Amino acid sequence: MNKVKVLVTSLAIVMICQTAFAQRSRTAKPDTAVVNLQQKMEALTFQVNSLGQELNAAKDQLNKQEQTPVQAVEEKVSAAHDKLAGMEERMLTAESDIGGMKKLKVSGYIQTRFEYINHDRIDSAAGFTDSRTDSSWFYVRRGRIKFVYTPTSTSQYCIYPDFSKDKVTLKEAWITLTEPWTKMKFNLTMGQMNWPFGVEIERSSSVREVPERSIMSNALFKGERDRGVKLNFTPVQNLTVDLGVYNGYGVDNSTFTLTDPTKPKDFVGRVRYDFGLVALSGSWYEGREKFSTNKDSADHYKGRMGGALEFYHQFLPVGGTGLLAEVVKGESREKEVMGYYVMGIQNVGERLGFALRVDSYDPNISSDTTAFNTTANSLKYDQTTNISLAVNYWWDAAVRLTLALDRTLYHTDMTMGQDSKYASYQDDKITMQMQIKF
């Protein structure tokens, strides 16, 4: 019996020690699984608390909306409608502005120059004294901006001022109506515009290869523009016809700037056919002009006829080749006049170009000394000839640099028996020009 008690007691002591040891081990080294479980429980508790807060906030918001649901919706709809209307208004305004800008074409160019002129020194013993002095100067030759507005396919108008030199002048102002019913494309233009005569008159100075127009054009069509009305149409393919009625004095006439003292108007016509490689044109001009003579100051006949040739071709592999030629013969101030020019153009690559032009103008080709009360020498030596050589370099797509040399020969009667050297005298001019075109 005692042995049994001792055995039971011993077993109890062993079990108590083992339990104490196990408890101490768990306290010193916690179980990893238990720790992870505790962390997950804490995270879930935090999420539940957060969701509870959000749920309470949502309930509060719902209670507020349930109080005035219709009013809240109406306010939101009205605000959205106002924003949409404002956006539509701005969009329509922008579309209108963009549409107007597409209908308006703005172009122009500026030409700044340096010129040096050397006058021939003529001995007074030759019967003629040249008192002119050499000169050089910088100036703005042309500063122009052109506005062309095309509101529809049947109408167009233009205003074209010039800001060069010491004042602002109006170069062009016209309105064009285009008929949409036939294939002949009738265009009726009224206002201030170029004379539709030949080629050089209407060819813009911004594309001309030499600095100025020919002596003939400057003498017979001073200013290149007049006030009147013009009809343009294409009766057959590649054939264009221009018919115009004008005052006849031009915009640069110092006496008749805005009026026409002659009751009859001047008529201008031109026919041009483009063959592709070559284009040919014929022009006709007829009118009246008033000026004083020894006889009277009545109206006098004024007429001109001309022909022109245009040739453009990629003739050489280095660049395009061009040829322009024009001749005009007519009557002006009771004298028979005649002029011409021939110009050759050769481009080298895309940036370099050369041009050579020879032009001449004779203010009286008659040999009738009795009718003009003059001498044969005066009729023989009265023409002016000009030779122009120009080099053009395109700096970029907008800027062109030009260096030009001009020699102008004045043929005149200067007591020919004394010194035949002075059958003509000359002016030499050097022009350096910078042009920007937009």
Q: Write out pLDDT tens, residues 252-290.
A: 887 777 788 888 899 999 999 999 999 999 999 999 988
Predicted confidence at residue 400, as pLDDT, reads 98
Q: Which of the two residues, 32 and 246, has the higher pLDDT score?
A: 246
In a 10 Å sphere around its CB, with 0-12 CB exposed, 13-18 middle and 19+ buried, how is residue 118 labelled?
middle
Pair (159, 304) in one structural domain = yes
Pair (300, 158) in one structural domain = yes
Residue whose C-alpha is closest to residue 341's, from 228, 235, 249, 221: 221
Cα gap 397→67, rounded to integer Å: 71
In one letter, which amino acid is 359?
Answer: D
Buried b or exposed e, range 72-84, using 16+ CB within 10 angstroms: eeeeeeeeeeeee
Task: Determine, yes or no, domain membership for 57.
Answer: no
pLDDT surpasses 50 at 9: no
Pair (254, 357) in one structural domain = yes
Task: Determine, yes or no, domain membership for 405.
Answer: yes
Cα gap 366→387, rounded to integer Å: 24
Task: Determine, yes or no, domain membership for 340.
Answer: yes
Pair (159, 13) in one structural domain = no
Mean pLDDT of 181-207: 96
Range of the domain at 209: 112-437
pLDDT surpasses 60 at 20: no
Predicted confidence at residue 367, as pLDDT, reads 84
Q: pLDDT-derived band of residue 416, with 50, 70 and 90 as boundaries?
A: very low
Q: Which of the two residues, 245 and 314, has the higher pLDDT score?
A: 245
Task: Determine, yes or no, domain membership for 139.
Answer: yes
Secondary structure string (H, E, C) spanning the chain: CHHHHHHHHHHHHHHHHHHHHHHHHHHHCCCHHHHHHHHHHHHHHHHHHHHHHHHHHHHHHHHHHHHCHHHHHHHHHHHHHHHHHHHHHHHHHHHHHHHHHHHEEEEEEEEEEEEEEEECCCCHHHCCCCCCCCEEEEEEEEEEEEEEEEEECCEEEEEEEECCCCCCEEEEEEEEEECCCCCCCCEEEEEEEECCCCCCCCCCCCCCCCCCCCHHHHHHCCCCEEEEEEEEEEEECCEEEEEEEECCCCCCCCCCCCCCCCCCCEEEEEEEEECCCEEEEEEEEEEEEECCCCCCCCEEEEEEEEEEEEEEEEEECCEEEEEEEEEEEEEECCEEEEEEEEEEEEEECCCEEEEEEEEEEECCCCCCHHHHCCCHHHHHCCCEEEEEEEEEEECCCCEEEEEEEEEEEEECCCCCCCCHHHHEEEEEEEEEEEEEEC
Buried b or exposed e, range 11-22, using 16+ CB within 10 angstroms: eeeeeeeeeeee
Predicted confidence at residue 391, as pLDDT, reads 98
Question: How many C-beta atoms surround the C-beta of residue 189 within 10 A?
Answer: 21
Number of structural domains (the chain) is 2
Pair (120, 25) in one structural domain = no
Pair (19, 148) in one structural domain = no
Taking each helix axis from N to C end, the angle separating 69-103 and 32-67, rounded to the nearest 10 degrees, works out to 80
pLDDT in tens, 344-394: 999 999 899 999 999 999 999 988 888 887 777 778 778 999 999 999 999
Here the tokens at position 39 are 């962390």
Pair (134, 231) in one structural domain = yes
Q: Which of the residue ranges 30-39, 236-245, 338-347 would you say has the lowest mean pLDDT?
A: 30-39
Pair (367, 236) in one structural domain = yes
Pair (151, 295) in one structural domain = yes
Asked if 355 and 390 touch (Cβ cutoff 8 Å), the reply is yes
Kindly report the CATH number assigned to the domain that includes residue 125. 2.40.160.10
Task: Determine, yes or no, domain membership for 47.
Answer: no
Cα gap 433→89, rounded to integer Å: 49
Pair (20, 142) in one structural domain = no
Predicted confidence at residue 111, as pLDDT, reads 97
Asked if 145 and 161 touch (Cβ cutoff 8 Å), the reply is yes
Task: Determine, yes or no, domain membership for 98.
Answer: no
Pair (196, 342) in one structural domain = yes
Here the tokens at position 41 are 């429980």
Task: Determine, yes or no, domain membership for 63.
Answer: no
Task: Determine, yes or no, domain membership for 216.
Answer: yes
Pair (225, 369) in one structural domain = yes
Residue 306's φ and ψ, nearest 5 degrees, are: -150, 160
Residue 211's φ and ψ, nearest 5 degrees, are: -60, -40
Average pLDDT, the chain: 82
